[in-house]
Structure 1
Amino acid sequence: MYEKVVKQYETNGFAVIEKFFSAEEVNLMKKEIDVLIKKMPEESQRTVFSTVDSESQQNKDRYFLESGDKISYFYEQGALGPNGELLVEPHLSLNKIGHALHELDPVFKKMTFSEQVKEVAFQLGYEEPAVVQSMCIFKNPGIGSEVTAHQDATYLYTEPVKVTGFWVALDDATVENGCLWFAAGSHKSGVHRRYVRNPDQGSDQLLIYKSGPPIYQRSNFKPVPVEKEGTNNFDSFINKDKLILLCIRKSCKTI
């Protein structure tokens, strides 16, 4: 059933599967996102994102590092005032909600461990797949900062290296509203950059890049639109510009 998908994935580093989830399942996920938005932390718990001093940066890094087993809220740049107050509507303020939706939210847990997800993971060579993180990414217009070209393996590195992302379109992802752009075949070039814990315990930064940003040819990137209900599965090595579910082998060690 997925022979074509596997071939595209191996050749290009990504593959689109149309109508991966039903309209009913997608609507259920969107309604659950509305529920999660209503559970947004109060102002006093949002101040970590509203200041720019070195202590605040450490707190942001720590908040990110500790989000793996929680449902955490991440805000767009410019969405919060100095005291954590919202400057825009709640649904426009969020960059993402993550990273343990697959464990703690019943709706997203059901979708994550659905038979179609299991089957695709199996077809892509996973014998004991494990979900390392899950998130809802909002991509709201007119707010936030640019997401530059990158590899997911920069931020989520495992040994041995094998990570696959399942990017599910809850709305049509078009060129106009922020679909992913890929450099086909670039997953065969290895990991170009690592984002790691800072070994300097006296530094203001808890997380650092081990090298400078790689230079990518913009002409190599092509848009990959996905219609609502579809999914875009991609290798963590592939160069992508612009992301919900990330799957690794259970035997992998995350670094």
Structure 2
Amino acid sequence: MYNFDVERPSTIQDAVKAMGREEAQPMSGGQTLIPTLKARLAAPSVLVSLTGIDEMKGVCLDDEGRVCIGGATTHATVAREAEAHYPALASLAARIGDPAVRNRGTIGGSIANNDPSACYPAGALGSGATIVTNNREIAADDYFQGMFETALEEGEIVTEVKFPVPTAAHYEKILQPASRFPLVAAFVAKFSDGVRVAITGASNDGVFRWAEAEQALSSNFSPDAVAGLSLDGSNMISDLHGTGAYRAHLCGVMTKRAVAAIG
């Protein structure tokens, strides 16, 4: 580690002001950032902690019936408080990492980092969520732009995520036991106007929507509709845990299981 300053703002306005300092970087739960700092892969001069901003915490419903989650809300809180409104999202949050991660990590930090194997990006993209920042609202389809890449601009903070609630949904993943990230996972959400399928853990481009599966399931919502579909493994992550072809195969397996769980 090395010397750096820590700012602890209590409002979004103060956080944005602190982010204006040279080489400042926001920190939410720190579950990704702290190991990165320890490995000296990042060297900000100022860390702006978002954990003391109460207006960025909690789960509620808005006038449109969307589940609105503050950016500084921990995974454990989402698992508890979203259960009554969006069970599939609560289940996703309840299975992130281990208890220590769930009690420190936040939805805003996960969404902002956009790890290619993170769970929340699949939930947000699969739900057609809206990512709210201190400056604007961004549709999930426009927000996730590649591995560790998002539409966030310099100084922007994820303050809230708004989730439309589908008629049914399920998150299915196969766990990579060492990291506890999903090796591959599928979030399937059934809406009145169609089905959305988001895949995480598989692609070199990060989370993505599987358009072919969405079309098939919108016409026939059953595991059989996905059985004949396949994805190209050439742009899938290939490492010691699995080849690109294996991950491409798992995309179909996880999607079929998610559909079967919905019934």
In the superposition, the TM-score normalised over structure 2's length comes to: 0.28
Bigger relative contact order, structure 1 or 2, given CA contacts below 8 A and separation 6+?
1
Greater percentage in helix: 2
